[in-house]
Structure 1
Amino acid sequence: MSPSTVNVFVVSLDTRSERRFDLHITVEQLKAKLELITGVPVPNQQISVCDGNDESHIVVGLDEDNRSLGFYGVRDWQILKVTDTNPSVSLTGQLTDVSQVEKFELSKEAYAERQDSVLAYKQRNKVGRFAPKVESANTPVPRVDIPVGSRCEVESAEDNFHKRGTVRFVGQTAFAPTGIWVGIEYDEPIGKNDGCVQRQQYFTCGPSHGVFVRPDRVLIGDFPPEEIDFDDEEL
């Protein structure tokens, strides 16, 4: 038994929708329904049947008002493309045409004075170009005359407590943005790491034997290892 209705897509310059129509209605009756859907007046409608996958491929035109929709062999999920032949007298295209819309423009000076803008947010939170300036990567690195492998003693605030060890690293690090750091392997486990800071290994030594200090705290010389008797400090 042949179907009495058909499901199609109705497309115009401003609309696109899915509709069901009786195949026995005439093209004239269809146009009356399509005017309510698309806003295109009946006298100005030109209806084309297109393949569902290609709106530009016209299968047939509904040219005779007294013919039924079924006469043209319209199938499910095809497209009824409604073209306005006289758009100057209707609203067709006005919903998508922004050429006549007055644009709101704000001068740079007025925008800079607003407190609810993205610019104001960036200024308040020091984001982007308003962020604090860091030392450029091209800034010359001061020369430090501390040879890797040399014996050294690190400045200590405790009297008669000598922090002695061997220089294992001299250079810039990822954990500090500027300046030179000296990595030292202590003779005793009085350090803070094993040469690794923030998952980056700068040198290798035993646990708690490594430390990083600024160059001005390091004294280079022929310092023999000095054993620290930790047992004397235990009760």
Structure 2
Amino acid sequence: CKLELVVGSPASCMDLELFSAEEELLGRLDCDEALLGSYPVADGCRVHVIDRSGARFGEYEDVSQVEKYEMAETDYDKRPESLRSFLRQRRWGQFNTEAAQRQAAEAQQRRAQEAALVATLPLGARCQVQVPGQPCKRATIMYVGTCQTDFKPGYWVGVRYDEPLGKHDGSVGGRRYFECQPKYGAFVRPHSVTPGDFPEEGDGLEDEL
């Protein structure tokens, strides 16, 4: 029965009804020996299927209702055909101890370089900020720290721009790090900050001869 492919239930669990184009019940298709042409079928008619199998529509669409098979870590670790075993045999990914040690050493070196750079950025110092893809801006250093609760790991420098080119007023996520006017504050990475004797934007000094 082709209807089984559409409905998903066996033919023995179906009751068929024939409706006209005007949604009038023309009769029930309950004779297994009768041909479709023996019923008053016309253009626009439709066959309505009543499923008596007891299956619920969408019963397995919610995967949270399906019992899941879980394997213990120790059992999975012993399986020879698993992805973990494949990576371990070839020393790829986390099983490449040499690469992991090299990456850890490089990360430690970057942290040391960043800490040394941060030491050259005193609070209140004038600076120039050059973020990749953005124009160069002048600012004052207002904060230097890790900001571990609100930012990605590493050091961050809070700056107060000379012009309203920032993103906030010195507070992020409800936590205040420094004071400034709205749209004048921003946090950037230390390598984007160059300290120096930079006059404030718009003070007129650049127009003097």
Question: Which of the five TM-score ranges fits, normalised by the shorter chain?
Answer: 0.3 to 0.5
Specify which structure has the higher proportion of strand. 1
Q: TM-score, normalised by structure 1?
A: 0.36
Q: TM-score, normalised by structure 2?
A: 0.40
- Could you say which structure has the larger radius of gyration? 1
